[in-house]
Chains A and B, each alone.
Chain A
């Protein structure tokens, strides 16, 4: 059936404008630091700021730890649910979707009440243990994305056959998971990892309430006190998000399933 493409084009162009204009405006704004001329001064200032470097590397490290803990938690669970305990699927899926429903600020408020320095498990007592709590909070936050990526990846490989083959060769459970299953779902795992990185790197609420020197609170601080640096930071943050998404697509295009 013939149909007019006029309205679809209008819609698409409208969408493109809506999304591109703020980016262009932000970029333009970030170049205005030197009066009368466009320059990358704001970027130089931001990148040279020790506060930026410290908070960014702190957040990057936390993101990395979050990814490791997240994978260690999600992969065995998703694997076992799919292979051995399908009855638990609704429960586990509900749990992994909960962080989309319960606001992050409520969760961290709960932590502050439950793990305060006078509680049975005083995680907020020292800086290191608060870092740990921050990692756990971020694992919770990224649970929906990590679980979905891993679960989808597990569905596309025949884990039962792989497992039985490995078992018949005498592999132990941890070895099966690490040496057989993980390589076969690496695309899903990596997608989840990059998505987690994108979410965690600039997170504000939890880091701020736990009083950690992370990138999100740093950005907020700059925003409250400076004029042009925030725009530069926004462009940098957007570029990081874009890079993470680009990496997901890149990894997906190298997936073994598509090449073979």
Chain B
């Protein structure tokens, strides 16, 4: 038996090796164009101009202007992610569980697919044309309701302005991400809860939301990272004058705005740490809150 088994094992081993060879390009690619570049920055963050180890770059992140830009970035990302999650969830709920006609859902899905990818420079143009100083909505609000939103303190190049602009792709992204999770809610759960005497509120708080919670959390993080790394929209709206961390980094890369290349690496490290930690937190929270999913 061992005599016949031997060649078979050898053949299988050879095939496995071939398979490894087949995904080698992918592994090499992700190393060279994803992992190593990021690792390279991390190393750079702990080096001085002549390549010696230092913590000075990290310390330098503490200067007020950098702290301010991180704070603003975090605020905008968190606000647009939270808004996107809440509104997108409500919208998905309304169309999937709200008993609306059949055509509504595919319409919303197609539109969300488009709008979630409609970001970057053109989105800035669209919002300038809508809510900019000469934008259509700005003008309509003024001529119909006599409200001058710019006199009232609104500015497209502000926390609120950027958050509203980001919501344009955050909400549809949420709709796309959360729809499969909503489809996973079985009608029987709702009916079993109802016949056992639960109110709609109790069904949502005791059953549906606990089941959806990991998906919602994951969606929030995806949206957060999506906004945190975004730059094109803000840059096209403002040029380099708006102080969010990606724009600061962009200016630093282009023209050495901080006059210290290694501080740029530290800036990038900070961004990696923030997205990394939030994803770690997600994995931890999800595994704790969803012990019931295997």
In contact, A25 and B130 (Cβ under 8 angstroms): yes
Secondary structure class of chain B's binding surface, majority of residues: helix
For residue A139, CB closer than 8 A to chain B, the reply is yes
Q: Does A198 contact B (CB under 8 A)?
A: yes
Mark contacts of B100-138 with chain A using CB atoms, 8 A cut-off: 1 yes-contact digit, 0 otherwise. 100010001011011101101111111111100011110
Contact indicator B275/A19 (Cβ below 8 Å) = no
Interface size for A (C-beta < 8 A) is 80
B33–A139 touching, CB < 8 Å? yes
Q: Which of B44-102 contact A (CB under 8 A)?
A: 44, 87, 90-91, 93-95, 98-100
Contacts A5-B99, A98-B34, A100-B226 given; indicate if A25 touches B16 (C-beta within 8 A): no
Chain A interface mostly helix, strand, loop or mixed? helix
1/0 per residue A76-92: CB within 8 Å of B?
A: 11001101110010001
Tell yes or no: A50 within 8 A of B by CB.
Answer: no
| A1 contacts across to B, CB distance below 8 A | 191, 194
- On whether A88 and B126 interact (CB within 8 A), knowing A19-B172, A28-B136, A105-B246, the answer reads no
Distance in angstroms between the alpha carbons of A15 and B108 in the assembled complex? 9
> Do the beta carbons of B100 and A103 come within 8 Å of each other?
no
Measured CB to CB, the nearest residue on chain A to B278 is: A101
How many A-B pairs fall under 8 Å by CB?
Answer: 250
Contacting residues, chain A, for B117 (C-beta < 8 A): 195, 198-199, 241, 244-245
* Interfacial residues of chain A within 10-57, with CB under 8 A of chain B in the complex: 10-12, 15, 18-19, 21-26, 28-30
Q: How far is the CB of A40 from chain B (nearest CB, A)?
A: 16
Q: At the interface, yes or no: A209 with Cβ under 8 Å from chain B?
A: yes
**Cross-chain contact B129 with A112 (CB below 8 angstroms):** no
Given contacts A76-B25, A106-B38, A204-B121, contact A22 B130 (CB under 8 A): yes
Nearest Cβ in chain A — how far from B45, in angstroms?
11
Binds B, one of A60-68, A153-161, A182-190, A230-238: A230-238
B91: nearest chain-A partner, CB-CB: A15
Does B23 contact A28, Cβ atoms closer than 8 Å? no
Distance of A85 Cα from B222 Cα, bound (Å): 28
Question: Beta-carbon contacts of B202-232 to A below 8 Å, as 1s and 0s?
Answer: 0000000000000000000010011011111
Q: Cβ of A8 and Cβ of B126 under 8 Å apart?
A: no
**Closest A-chain residue to B136, C-beta based?**
A25
Given contacts A5-B98, A110-B40, contact A95 B34 (CB under 8 A): yes
Q: Which listed residue (B19, B104, B113, B249) contacts A105, Cβ 8 A? A: B249
Determine if B290 is an interface residue (Cβ-Cβ < 8 Å).
no
B121 touching A29, Cβ below 8 Å: no
Instruction: Tell whether A220 is near chain B: CB-to-CB under 8 Å.
Output: yes
Binding site for A on B (CB under 8 A): 15-16, 18-20, 22-23, 25-26, 29-30, 32-38, 40-41, 44, 87, 90-91, 93-95, 98-100, 104, 108, 110-111, 113-115, 117-118, 120-130, 134-137, 167-168, 171-172, 191, 194, 222, 225-226, 228-232, 235-236, 239, 246, 249-250, 253-254, 264-265, 268, 271-272, 275-276, 279
